[in-house]
Structure 1
Amino acid sequence: MFLTVDPTFNKTEVSVILPASKSQSNRALIIKALSSTDLEIENLSAAEDTLLLKMALEALSPVININHSGTALRFLCAFLCLQKGVFVLTGSSRIKKRPIKELVFILRQLGAQIEFTENDNFAPLKITGNPHFEGGKVELDSTISSQFTSALMMIAPCLKNGLELQLTGDAVSSSFVNLTKEMMEYQGIQVIQENHSILIANQKYNNRKIKIESDFASASYWYSILLVSSHVDKIYVNNLCKKSTQPDKKVIEIFSLLGIESNFQEKNLTISKNRKFILPVRIELDLQDAPDLAQTIMCVCSVLNIELFLTGLSTLPNKETNRLLAMKLELKKFGIKVTINSESSIHQSGLFQQNRDVIIETYDDHRMAMAFSCFMFANQGVNIKDPAVVNKSYPGFWEEISKISNLVYTN
């Protein structure tokens, strides 16, 4: 299936609905399951990742298939160690290549029984749970995935001896660890964080209703569409909090460098374009705390012929696909050169070339499809392959796009 758009609508303003934050939703589900209460979650994400995690937590089946969800893999790996029973945690071929060994080794040090059933150091995992898991003091390399840290933090209050976590290396996506800490503290858990140490004693989660905000990462696609569209000048988005601690809120700061103004009124955000703004010729950004914005920024800078330097990208090769390589391959179709300097930085340059009837490969990666959506408003005839891949995080994305363009599906 392929999707292209006919962006001939003349609407200058549009209101769009964002999905609920996947990051907040997934943490809320784990916290609810660990609290053993009927904790209420308002505005839970309808993303595929979140629904898979919710079903897994409700069923606790002997075999749990989490498809492509890396978050579910890490969070369930830790959670299942505390559950009575034997579980096999598996997923797609891509999941069987994503990092998990460091988390498994830490959990083993704490007393967990986890086996690799196919290939050493990767899923599937056979987990023999123990409700009396004791916990203790461990050291974790924080340069690989912040989800390892978050997974351990959330189970820590349920461990007999709590958890003292010593983090080594330069932490990646540390803002997501801060999000975990904030959500745990909201439920009454005391988290002591000093320098590279996190200490969480044995405690009980409260039963406070959790209200999930809309997702700032999903808002980034509307920022990019607004910027490249020839006719849309203003977009209204819902349920975004000015004081949000979502790491991807950084999108506001980044797009201000490109002339997009963001104005909050209560929990609604209006983004507007300053057509007189003089665009920069080059931008340098560190995305260590918001790597999910990388693809969007690479795409929009390509269309605008802005030279780009990005650092802090070390987690991207191990996402749904190798995102750095995927971006290099797809942007090359439009004359854009991407140099991958290391696993954590890129340099992007070149003049954007129109390319009619080109197909954008999405590599089973929802963010590839949505990041390249702005190309559909800058280059007539761009076709997105496998558009349904957006269901992983933003199921209603194309329906919202139809408010400003005609959708054309082909086989």
Structure 2
Amino acid sequence: MNLQLHKSEIIHRNLKIDITGSKSESNRLLLLQALYPNLKIENLSNSDDSKVMQEALQVDCNEIDVHHAGTAMRFLTAYFSIQQNREVILTGSSRMQERPIAILVDALQQLGVEVVYLKNEGFPPIKIKGKKIFKNKVNLQANVSSQYISALLLIAPKLENGLKLTLEGEITSIPYINMTLTLLQGIGVETSFIGNTIKVKPKATIRDKTFVVESDWSSASYYYSIIAMSKAGTEISLAYYKENSLQGDASLVEIYKKFGVETIFLPQGLLLKKVSETNSQSTISLDLKNSPDIAQTVAVTCLGLGLACELTGLHTLKIKETDRLVALKTEIEKLGGKVQITNSSLSIETCASLKENIEIATYQDHRMAMAFAPLALKIPIIIQDASVVSKSYPTFWDDLNAIGFKIFKR
């Protein structure tokens, strides 16, 4: 499904948007719930990824297809490693079979887990034979994806002797590691994170516990972009967010001050308000190593506002749903922008005007579709394969329509 977005403006300025629970929190809690059934979850994400995760943890079959869900692939690899007397094949889409998993598999093999690659060495599909794990020390490369680290940490309290995880290299996406540790602590698991070493003590059972998942900050990023590109005084309310968030993408609050967006925390959410214009002569410089999922949003915001930017810390973007650095360069240049990329950075030159009615390819990547949508406040634009947003935010187009975006099927 392709969508035509006509040039739009925000007309329902006082509307409150209810955003589903964080995919990152939900998928961690779903795995913990599978290990500790007396854990209850409220405001669970309605994303495709969380649905895939939930179904995979409930079905009793020998082959599980996670489609495009990278988090599910990594977390389930660890989960099925400790399911004794069960043999499972984990597979996914063609893109998933190009996304590396060797770092996690190597770590599990250090612990004695039996994992076999079924096609290409280092990539899904894989066959896992679950067993009881007694070893408790493992080294892991920490500069590729924090999800490998979180996958191990989530199963750690169910290992016979817990886990001592030594991280090698510069640690990426630390907020996501801290999110995992905080959730473990929330169910009574003892953890420590000192220097490059994380320790998790074993815990056989937990007391009854209910978690209310905070709404997804990555999804909020698109509204920050919308407000940044809107007229002064434009407001949007989002539910349900809290000031002391576990999510790394809460850095949006500080980042979007650079674009004249003020964040006001309310009892059950937050209010975004455009309070000032950004100096068009300035260059936005940001290190996004702790919040790489908002890189596309920030890049497109800069493009829409005619601002130059230099974004660094983006090395994980090459192994996402697509190579997001290449995808951003390709699509921004179609719109008339000038982009330079390296393996870990992206820069955009000041662009005075954008080409209209350009078709934006989304590469089976939900964030490509949603990041480019706010440009409809500046120019008419076409989003290809727009239904891809269901991966993380199924009601995205309905919510944009509700605040005034003019959206039509093509």
Which TM-score applies when normalising by structure 1? 0.96
CA contact (8 A) 1:187 1:205 kept: no
Q: Distance in 2 between matches of 1:9 and 1:226?
A: 9
- 1:366 corresponding residue in structure 2: 366
- 1:384 corresponding residue in structure 2: 383
Report the Cα offset of residue 15 of structure 1: 1.8
Change (3 A) 1:357 1:233: same
CA contact (8 A) 1:335 1:350 kept: no
- 2:107 corresponding residue in structure 1: 106
- 2:161 corresponding residue in structure 1: 161
* Secondary structure at 1:330 match in 2: helix
Q: Distance in 2 between matches of 1:78 and 1:187?
A: 19
CA contact (8 A) 1:284 1:310 kept: yes
Say if 2:192 is the partner of 1:214: no
Q: Distance in 1 between matches of 2:276 and 2:284?
A: 19
Q: Distance in 1 between matches of 2:12 and 2:121?
A: 54
- 1:297 corresponding residue in structure 2: 298
* Secondary structure at 2:315 match in 1: coil
* Secondary structure at 2:347 match in 1: strand
CA contact (8 A) 1:115 1:127 kept: yes
Tell me which moved more, 351-360 or 237-246: 351-360
Q: Deviations over 1:124-156 (max 9, x none)?
A: 0001111x2223211111011101110101111
Change (3 A) 1:8 1:213: closer
Q: Distance in 2 between matches of 1:287 and 1:4?
A: 31
Report the Cα offset of residue 109 of structure 1: 1.1
Q: Deviations over 1:177-208 (max 9, x none)?
A: 00000000000000011110011122135231
Alignment gaps of 5+ in structure 2: none
Which letter does structure 2 place at the counterpart of 1:59? Answer: V
Report the Cα offset of residue 321 of structure 1: 0.2
- 1:118 corresponding residue in structure 2: 119
Q: Distance in 1 between matches of 2:277 and 2:304?
A: 18
Q: Deviations over 1:235-292 (max 9, x none)?
A: 0101100111210000110001111011012122001011456456211100010000
- 2:73 corresponding residue in structure 1: 73
Which letter does structure 1 place at the counterpart of 2:71? Answer: T
CA contact (8 A) 2:111 2:136 kept: yes
- 1:94 corresponding residue in structure 2: 95
- 1:239 corresponding residue in structure 2: 240
Change (3 A) 1:352 1:96: farther
- 2:289 corresponding residue in structure 1: 288
Q: Distance in 1 between matches of 2:137 and 2:73?
A: 23
Which TM-score applies when normalising by structure 2? 0.96
Superposition pairs of residues 269-284 of structure 1, within 5 angstroms: 269-275=270-276, 278=279, 281-284=282-285
- 2:230 corresponding residue in structure 1: 229
CA contact (8 A) 1:135 1:156 kept: no
Which letter does structure 2 place at the counterpart of 1:45? Answer: S
CA contact (8 A) 1:12 1:232 kept: no
CA contact (8 A) 1:62 1:88 kept: yes
Say if 2:201 is the partner of 1:201: yes
Q: Distance in 2 between matches of 1:9 and 1:26?
A: 33
Which letter does structure 2 place at the counterpart of 1:366? Answer: H
CA contact (8 A) 2:136 2:164 kept: yes
- 1:409 corresponding residue in structure 2: 409
- 1:133 corresponding residue in structure 2: 133
- 1:354 corresponding residue in structure 2: 354
CA contact (8 A) 2:259 2:277 kept: no
Q: Distance in 2 between matches of 1:406 and 1:345?
A: 33
Which letter does structure 2 place at the counterpart of 1:308? Answer: C
- 2:339 corresponding residue in structure 1: 338
Q: Distance in 2 between matches of 1:373 and 1:17?
A: 18
Report the Cα offset of residue 9 of structure 1: 6.3
Change (3 A) 1:363 1:292: same
Q: Distance in 2 between matches of 1:60 and 1:249?
A: 37
